[in-house]
């Protein structure tokens, strides 16, 4: 069994060699601890975020951390899928960063974790306007939409998207929003169904929706 605190620290230190060695060890031991390993990696990402806020890490470090987290999900993917419930299996959903926001680190991590849990993720990319999201929902019979944003102005774009979905008659589509500026009050103002500050909650919410 690996030391999950050591894994979290290695992720926080951006120690790629140690992170991958420990994750590969999880898989070599059968993958039963894959979910705990994923949680440890997320704790490491929290460390990265704290260091960034203190000025010890810079944007390049955040990008590197996002890439390392995506690699981590890739290593654990088979165990995460096999250990997950069937509720999310092959459910297609839309994911994107909303209009006027070009950030994709968090989105890419969420995408990797959703795919690891069996979802088929239609990633529309960044700076995506409401009408493009509505079109993707209609063309692919989507019932779950995840909207990401880092900038405060992304909240306006999220509200425009939810309003556009309802105006187009898609009240049945469930929307979860995520990113730095989101909150319970923002979620209510936007009209979204749920909000999250971490990938684990996003995955859990989407899996619950897929099963209902």
How is the chain split into domains, by residue range? 4-82, 86-211
pLDDT of residue 88: 44
How far apart (Å, rounded) are the C-alpha atoms in residues 210 and 199?
A: 16
pLDDT tens, residue order, the chain (212 aa): 899 999 999 999 999 999 999 999 999 999 999 989 988 998 998 898 889 889 999 888 988 998 899 899 889 988 877 555 444 447 999 999 999 999 888 898 888 888 877 899 999 999 999 999 999 999 999 999 999 999 999 999 999 999 999 999 999 999 999 998 999 999 999 999 999 988 878 989 999 999 98
| CATH topology classification for 86-211 | Rossmann fold (3.40.50)
144 bridge partner residues: 174
195 bridge partner residues: 177
pLDDT of residue 98: 98
pLDDT of residue 77: 85
For residue 5, give both structure tokens: 């605190």
pLDDT of residue 202: 93
Interacting residues of 42 by C-beta distance below 8 A, sequence separation 6+: 198, 199, 200
0.85 exceeded by the pTM?
no
pLDDT of residue 180: 87
Q: Please report the DSSP string for 156-177 in residue order.
A: HHHHHHHHHHHHTT-TT-EEEE
**CATH placement of domain 4-82:** 1.10.1240.10
pLDDT of residue 198: 81
SS3 28: helix
Interacting residues of 204 by C-beta distance below 8 A, sequence separation 6+: none
pLDDT of residue 82: 59
Interacting residues of 146 by C-beta distance below 8 A, sequence separation 6+: 93, 94, 95, 96, 110, 114, 175, 176, 177, 178, 202, 206
């Amino acid at each position: 069994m690996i030391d999950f605190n050591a894994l979290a620290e290695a992720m926080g230190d951006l120690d790629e060699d140690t992170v991958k060695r420990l994750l590969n060890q999880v898989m070599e031991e059968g993958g039963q601890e894959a979910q705990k390993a994923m949680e440890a990696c997320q704790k490491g990402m929290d460390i990265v975020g704290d260091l960034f806020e203190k000025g010890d890490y810079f944007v390049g470090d955040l990008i590197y951390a996002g890439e390392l987290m995506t690699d981590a999900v890739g290593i654990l993917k088979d165990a995460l899928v096999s250990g997950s419930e069937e509720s999310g299996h092959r459910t297609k959903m839309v994911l994107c960063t909303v209009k006027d926001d070009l950030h994709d680190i968090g989105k890419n991590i969420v995408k990797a974790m959703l795919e690891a849990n069996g979802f088929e993720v239609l990633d529309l990319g960044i700076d995506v306007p409401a009408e493009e999201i509505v079109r993707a929902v209609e063309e692919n019979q989507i019932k779950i939409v995840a909207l990401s944003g880092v900038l405060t102005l992304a909240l306006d774009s999220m509200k425009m998207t939810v309003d556009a979905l309802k105006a187009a008659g898609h009240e049945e589509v469930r929307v979860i929003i995520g990113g730095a500026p989101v909150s319970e009050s923002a979620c209510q103002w936007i009209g979204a169904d749920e909000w999250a500050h971490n990938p684990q909650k996003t995955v859990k919410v989407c899996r619950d929706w897929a099963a209902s």
